[in-house]
Every structure is written in C-alpha cells, then in structure tokens.
Amino acid sequence: MTAKIMDGKAVAEKIRAKVKAEVANLKTKPGLAAILVGENPASKVYVDIKRKTCDEVGIYSELYKLPEETTEKELLQLIGRLNKSEKIHGILVQLPLPRRINEEKVLEAIALEKDVDGFSLVNVGRLASGREAAVPCTPKGVIRLLEEYGIDLAWKNAVVIGRSNIVGKPTALLLLNRNATVTICHSKTADLPHYTKKADILVAAAGKPKLVKADMVKEGAVVIDVGINRVEGKLVGDVDFASVKEKASYITPVPGGVGPMTVAMLIENTLERYKEITRRK
Ligand code: NDP
C-alpha cells in the first residue's frame, strides 16, 4: 500500500482563506500579540511566520522580540499591558522560555479570554473534562487534518508518542474526546513498537528524527508526523517517511503537514478569541 499524502499546506491555505474572508467583513480587526524572549533560532522563524500569516489574513499583530536577559517581572508587566489593550484579543508567548523564567506563572498571567494557545490551567482543565474551549494549535491542527480527510476516530486505536503539555497530552485528550481509544507513549515506555504496531492512528511527537520505522507501523495506519527536526540542514520528522509511506494509508509530510496547520489554527483561534471578547462587550 502507498499512503495518501495529507496535504497540510493545502488545508491550511483553505483555512486561511476562510479566516481572511471573515475578517474582511468585521467592523474592527482581531489582534494578536506574540512575545519572544531570547535568541532561539527556531522560535524566531516561527514567530515571523505567525506575524506574516496575520498580515496575510488581515489580523492586526504586535510582535515583541525581547532580549535574553528580560526578567520575569518585565515579561509579566508586558502581559499585564496586553491584557488591557483593546487592540489585542490573543496573547502568545513563544515557548520555550529561558529556564530562569517561570513558564507556568507567565502563562497563567495571560487573561483567560486572550489565551489563544489554550495553555492556561483553566483551558487545560476544560479540554480534560471534554468541554473544549481554546485548544492548543498543533493538537487542534492534527485533529482538523484527520477531519478534512474524513478519518473517523470512534472504535480506533490511537497511539500518541510524546506527552508534552504543548503537543502530546492535548492531542491525546482531543482524540479521546472524539471516541478514539488512546495510548500515550513516552521516553520511558517499555517496548514502543508493541504499542505503535496496534495503532490505527499514530501521532509521532517525540522530537526524534525518524524514530518511527515501517516495522513499527500497522498496515493501513494513519500516520501523523508532528516532529520537526533539523538534520544536516534539512527538516525531517519523527517518522521515516520513505519507508512508512509504503505501509500507511495516510501520512503527513515534513515539512508541509502539521506545521502549516499549526499556524492556521493560531489565526483561527485569534478570530475565535476576538469573537468571544466582542460578544461579551
Ligand atoms: P518535548 O521535547 O517537550 O516532548 C517530547 C516527548 O516525546 C516527551 O514526552 C518525551 O518523553 C517523548 N520522547 C522523546 N523521545 C522518545 C522516544 N525515543 N520514545 C518515545 N517517546 C519519546 O517536545 P514537544 O512536544 O514540544 O514537540 C515534539 C516535536 O514536535 C518536536 O520535534 C517539535 O519540534 C515538534 N513540534 C512541531 C510543531 C508543529 O507545528 N509541527 C509544533 C510544536 C512542536 P518524556 O516525557 O519521557 O521525556
């Protein structure tokens, strides 16, 4: 079997066009503030893409590139100002933050209605209790891709490799909320292939280049590769694409799979936050 490629780039383009059309009809503009602390090269690329996408769809954006030595207090003060800004409806703090800054404290400082990434404990709790509100962008993008390709989740075994708060755990919860039977694997899972071989839906989010080989995948599985790894100057996923595509029924490429979906979900979430805030006024 040769897998059908799940074209995240094309699906994301459709979503961007939809957001753009909706934004064009609004009286005021949704606004997103993105905060980057320090010099992480990958993070810089991501925030620039996010800002460019906002421009493209007509979302107002403010980008704060703060120096590495920014203190937690300064960061919290900036968030405090953005919480009050009438122009801003979503606040995004690009992770990871420098170690000396308390990530949880910073994320909790974002006003709940502006929590565009869904990382606040309240939104995590809502997701965990099946009352999804603002949902993290990458996991939401994974689910949207599955929906776009008409892949039903009920009665399916879904295996998620990775248990981070940003990708693995929320993805597992979204799959569970949609009636998949979910297993979460991590770096201390004994015999990873034992689980992956049972997966009808396999989501790889470990950050380990080509971790998932063909012999770890069930014939006809749907394989979603979240991983972004730079190897010898090239981007590769967590899945050995060349071999796994001969066994899977559907597979996402890297790049061009989950990555563009993440950005599309961010602008969709910004529009949702805007609607929620303006509705309440
Ligand atoms: P983290 O490093 O926070 O988490 C990685 C997870 O994978 C951990 O739970 C870890 O286990 C687990 N893991 C690591 N090695 C193995 C292994 N050999 N076998 C099984 N599990 C393993 O990464 P993130 O969740 O933030 O990101 C994961 C990947 O997704 C990265 O490549 C990142 O670049 C990419 N990413 C892509 C995005 C996109 O838009 N496409 C967005 C965000 C991330 P343990 O908990 O035990 O340490």
| 66/36 Cα distance (integer angstroms) | 6
pLDDT digits (tens, 9 = 90+) for 7-59: 999 999 999 999 999 999 999 999 999 999 999 999 999 999 999 999 999 99
- Of 117, 200, 225, 238, catalytic: 117
**Number of structural domains, the chain?**
2
Residue-wise pLDDT tens digits, 237-247: 999 999 999 99
Cβ 216 under 6 angstroms from ligand 1: no
DSSP class of 28: S
153 shares a domain with 57 = no
Give the type of residue at 17.
A
Q: Can you give the CATH number for the domain in which 203 is found?
A: 3.40.50.720
Cβ contact 206:188 at 8 Å: no
50 noted as active-site residue: yes
- For residue 227, the CA-to-ligand 1 centroid distance in Å is 7
Nearest one of 8, 3, 6, 4 to 258, comparing CA atoms: 8
Closest CA relative to residue 34, chosen from 24, 21, 44: 44
CB neighbours of residue 191 within 10 Å: 9
The answer on pLDDT for 1 being more than 90 is: no
Give the mean model confidence (pLDDT) for residues 104-127.
98
As a whole number of Å, the CA-based R_g of the chain is 19
Q: Tell me the CATH number at 40.
A: 3.40.50.10860
pLDDT computed for residue 91 by the predictor: 98
Q: Convert the pLDDT of each residue in 76-111 to its tens digit.
A: 999 999 999 999 999 999 999 999 999 999 999 999
Same structural domain, 166 and 54: no
Do 107 and 143 reside in the same domain of the chain? no
Q: Quick check: 239 and 268 in contact, CB under 8 A?
A: no
pLDDT tens string 179-222: 999 999 999 999 999 999 999 999 999 999 999 999 999 999 99
Do residues 167 and 248 share a domain? yes
Give the DSSP letter of residue 130: T
pLDDT bracket for residue 141 (50, 70, 90): very high
- Structure-block tokens of residue 16: 């961007």
Annotated catalytic residue 117: yes
Task: Indicate the average pLDDT of the chain.
Answer: 97
| 4 found inside a domain | no
As beta bridge partners, residue 239 has 212
Q: Mutate which of 167, 196, 212, 238 to test ligand 1's pocket (most atoms within 8 Å of Cβ)?
A: 167
Model pTM? 0.98
Q: Is residue 250 part of a domain?
A: yes
Q: Is the pLDDT of residue 280 over 90?
A: no
Helix/strand/coil (H, E, C) string of 260-275? HHHHHHHHHHHHHHHH
Say how many Å lie between the CA of residue 162 and the centre of ligand 1: 5
Is 226 a pocket residue for ligand 1 (Cβ < 6 Å)? yes
Q: What is the CA(225)–ligand 1 centre distance, in A?
A: 11
- What pLDDT was estimated at residue 281? 81
Which domain covers residue 104, as residue numbers? 28-111
Do the beta carbons of residue 180 and residue 190 sit within 8 Å? no
Whether the per-residue pLDDT at 115 is higher than 90: the answer is yes
Would you say the CB of residue 186 lies under 6 angstroms from ligand 1? yes
Identify the sign of the CA torsion 58, 62, 68, 71: negative
What does the pLDDT look like over 220-273, one tens digit per residue? Answer: 999 999 999 999 999 999 999 999 999 999 999 999 999 999 999 999 999 999
Concerning whether 77 is annotated as a catalytic residue, the answer is: no
Which structure tokens are listed for 25?
């009809």
Residue 71 clears pLDDT 90, i.e. is over it: yes
91 C-alpha to center of ligand 1: Å?
23
Segment 56-85 shows an average pLDDT of 97
